[in-house]
Amino acid sequence: MDLKKFVRTIENYPIEGISFKDITTLLKEPTAYKEVVDQISSHYRDRGITKVVSLESRGFIVGGAVAYCINAGFVPIRKKGKLPSVVLNETYELEYGVDSIEIHVDALNENDVVLIHDDLLATGGTALAALYLVRQLNVKKIYFSFICDLKFIDTEKKKELATYETHSVIQY
């Protein structure tokens, strides 16, 4: 199935010069949504993953489904101030600004094998921030999963992520 045809591109969003990849058009199509969840789940099913860590907000949509399919727990990484207990915080740069994400300090432990999932890999800033948070919790192993990877964007951040097994369903 050509999943690219289900992803809408919105020019100049959220700022001038950005071509935003909108996965909501993919998610609303049952067969496309199922194909994405099935591909990611199949790729990681036999890796011993105990927790799927997913990023707010679009990452939650597929991350939770993948966690269910591979019989793993689900751990949210949220925007600053959204989690109710003690958190670790990481600030990072986006293509168009600065943001901050958090994870509960008791979300993971040294026995966890973690799949970090998000909807899109562009510059790698968000994924790297998530990696820094997860590494502070001393987990056993880390993998990455994305719906879309903008391979034409080459950054130092993405090179650091390349040392981890990464799977993306759609590449641009």
Dihedral (CA of 100, 106, 111, 116) sign: negative
Of the residues 95, 110, 160, 165, which is catalytic? 95
Q: Is 165 considered catalytic here?
A: no
Q: Locate all alpha helices (DSSP H) within 19-168, ordered by sequence.
A: 24-27, 30-44, 58-69, 125-136, 156-161
Those residues with Cβ within 8 angstroms of residue 80's Cβ, 6 or more apart along the chain or in another chain: 89, 99, 100, 101, 102
Max Cα distance, the chain (Å): 44
Of the residues 45, 58, 93, 165, which is catalytic? 58
Those residues with Cβ within 8 angstroms of residue 128's Cβ, 6 or more apart along the chain or in another chain: 92, 157, 160, 161
Q: Is 16 considered catalytic here?
A: no
Half-sphere exposure of 44 (CA within 13 A, CB side): 35
Q: What residues are annotated to the active site?
A: 58, 95
